[in-house]
Structure 1
Amino acid sequence: MVRVISLGSSFAAGPGIDPQSNLDAGRSFNNYPNLFARKLGLDPTDTSQFLDLTVSGATLLNVNTDPQTAGNTTFPPQLDSLPPVQDGDDGSDLVITITGGGNDMFYIGSMFAWTLKHTLWGKLVTWLLMRREEREWLEQPTVATPEQVSQRFAFLLDSLRQRYPKAKIYLVEYFAMIGPDTVAGKDVGWDQQQIQRYEETAELLQKLYKQAAGDRRGVHVVPLAEVSKKHALGSPEPWVSDGSLLNFYRHGAYHPNLRGMQAASEILLDFHEKLQSQDKCP
């Protein structure tokens, strides 16, 4: 039987999607890792079969080396939360999914910041409900360079490979927020110039995922970004939620919705099964 471990941030964790398994982590029982595990016939409540370490807001530093405080919880680095390796365990039956890197580059955070700054309700939320340090972070975020993100991915993948030499590692791309149906000023509050900046960041993330996988053995990119463009903001069947007050209240603004998580789990399962079939070919 295969085992699954999931690492990463909110696009894997599923904030705003009911039911939540950990509110501080913004982690849903219906995120794509959980749904994928269930499609494989695993028991998502048995951590020996499925372990979800994703935390909303995590950077790759939080995955690798740095603790993360979210809500009332301080989460240890996700790598530190991996189970002890048993004798003879080379990870040959293990699948590790990773979605991260966007927070390092202030990708979705910049969408939050713009909405909170340019809407009346956003200004009220910012000044009445947010702590000073949260406001300062939105105004002056720490943004990693592409080279730093590459280094963090390399550290993560090398650490996992050293720990589990034969594990399959899936870099699951970010859902597309912007697609051919996204209209500036209608589906989003941003103008076309801002839309282009967000598209450039999304494309850079795709590039960094491909660079991270490179020729590393057992590391594969799951191409979710391109597939999901026709289900971006403004599409008839979006896989992501807009930046409305209601979605901010639910903690799901500018994030995958349930339909998106279901689709991602199916794409991941299809990718995994095709890879398994290739591995069995002589």
Structure 2
Amino acid sequence: MARLTSDMWGTGAHDHSSEMVHVFRMRLIALGSSFAAGPGIAPQVDAAAGRSGNNYPHLLARRLGLDSGDSTQLLDLSVSGATMLNLISDDQDTGDKVFPPQLSLLPSADDDDQTIITVTGGGNDMFYIGSMFARTLSMTLWGRIYSHLFMTQDQKQGLENPTIASPDQVIERFNILLDDLHKRFPRATIYLVEYFAMMGPDTVGGRHVAWSQDQVDRYKQTADQLKQIYAQAAKGRANVHIVPLAQASYAHAIGSKQPWVSDGSILNFYRGGAFHPNLAGMKAAADLIYDTHQKLYTKA
């Protein structure tokens, strides 16, 4: 197959070896939670969803030559706080708006379409980032003040009494999602975009985060679990591919000189972007997905 470039998507491409012309009508669909949505990153195109116009789906769409403002070219359904159940079957109440299950918002498939679907999720099912919120708010004086002044009772309850799924349950939810996507879009290319590394080689407990170095190591173990879940979900599925963002971002975790994620400072909490990807991270993720796609569809 000839190398696909951004000019070829959505406009048509010449295969010079056969002198044939084929027109691709590309569509990018993004499903997921906050690590896809981009809370705290300007501009916020949907404040209730915590969704940025500079998240990796929007940046990737531009790399692909798509109009990120046209929902027939980019359909970004990501919502901060979403669990896999919110992707599959459950409504999601963010406090400002109720979002229906993301699968229910998908368009019908068109056999002439080149569809790419990105998915980032599972961490909220395991209370991964939520536990970082809870620890910071409970272990710091400003956190306790912030919680008292700015958080609703429902938000406090969610952090104090979380519902935590097992890794096996999260894998099952991924399987349900991927089975459904394959039925809807049998020719689609699906990318499971791993979580950004939050704890890395430069993260020092008690300095860059409120908790101990032992807890830093436990968060690394949770991150490894998420990687294994993604690998297991993709196993045996020819159209599903892992985007190895966890490894690529490990040297850019909290405490690094060039972090791709935000720390748990009071300013980042106030902006809504604490313990989440920053703009540099979103750009890096979009580049990695684009490069992964190029390699997949390029043959010598």
Deviations 1:112-148 (A, max 9, x none): 0000101111111222322222212111100001111
Amino acid at match of 1:150: I
Of residues 219, 222, 230, the one that matches 1:198 is 219
Of residues 112, 119, 122, the one that matches 1:101 is 122
Check if 1:54 corresponds to 2:78: yes
Give the gaps of 5 or more residues in structure 1. Answer: none
Check if 1:27 corresponds to 2:48: no
Check if 1:125 corresponds to 2:146: yes
1:1-282 equivalence runs, <5 A:
1=10, 2-85=26-109, 89-90=110-111, 93-278=114-299
Q: SS of the residue aligned with 2:247?
A: helix
2:6: which partner in 1? none
Q: SS of the residue aligned with 1:103?
A: coil
Identity %: 59
Deviations 1:141-162 (A, max 9, x none): 0000111101100000000000
1:162–1:91 distance in 2 versus 1, CA, 3 Å:
farther
Q: SS of the residue aligned with 1:160?
A: helix
Q: What is the root-mean-square deviation of aligned Cα atoms in Å? A: 1.1
Q: SS of the residue aligned with 1:3?
A: strand
Q: Distance in 1 between matches of 2:155 and 2:94?
A: 12
Return the offset for 1:192.
1.2
4+ aligned runs moved over 6 Å, structure 1: none
8 Å Cα contact 2:27/2:113 also seen in 1: no
Amino acid at match of 1:230: A
8 Å Cα contact 1:62/1:78 also seen in 2: yes
Q: SS of the residue aligned with 1:134?
A: helix
1:177–1:224 distance in 2 versus 1, CA, 3 Å:
same
Deviations 1:201-256 (A, max 9, x none): 10000000000000112000000001100000111100000000000010000000
Q: Distance in 2 between matches of 1:190 and 1:4?
A: 39
Q: Distance in 2 between matches of 1:129 and 1:194?
A: 26
8 Å Cα contact 1:90/1:167 also seen in 2: no
Aligned length: 276
Q: Distance in 1 between matches of 2:54 and 2:153?
A: 33
Amino acid at match of 1:18: A
Q: Distance in 2 between matches of 1:71 and 1:202?
A: 28
Which structure has greater helix proportion?
Answer: 1
Deviations 1:47-101 (A, max 9, x none): 111100000000000000000011311000000011133xxx2475000000000
Q: Which has the larger radius of gyration?
A: 2
8 Å Cα contact 2:108/2:184 also seen in 1: no
Amino acid at match of 2:42: D
TM-score by length of 2: 0.90
Give the gaps of 5 or more residues in structure 2. Answer: 1-9, 11-25
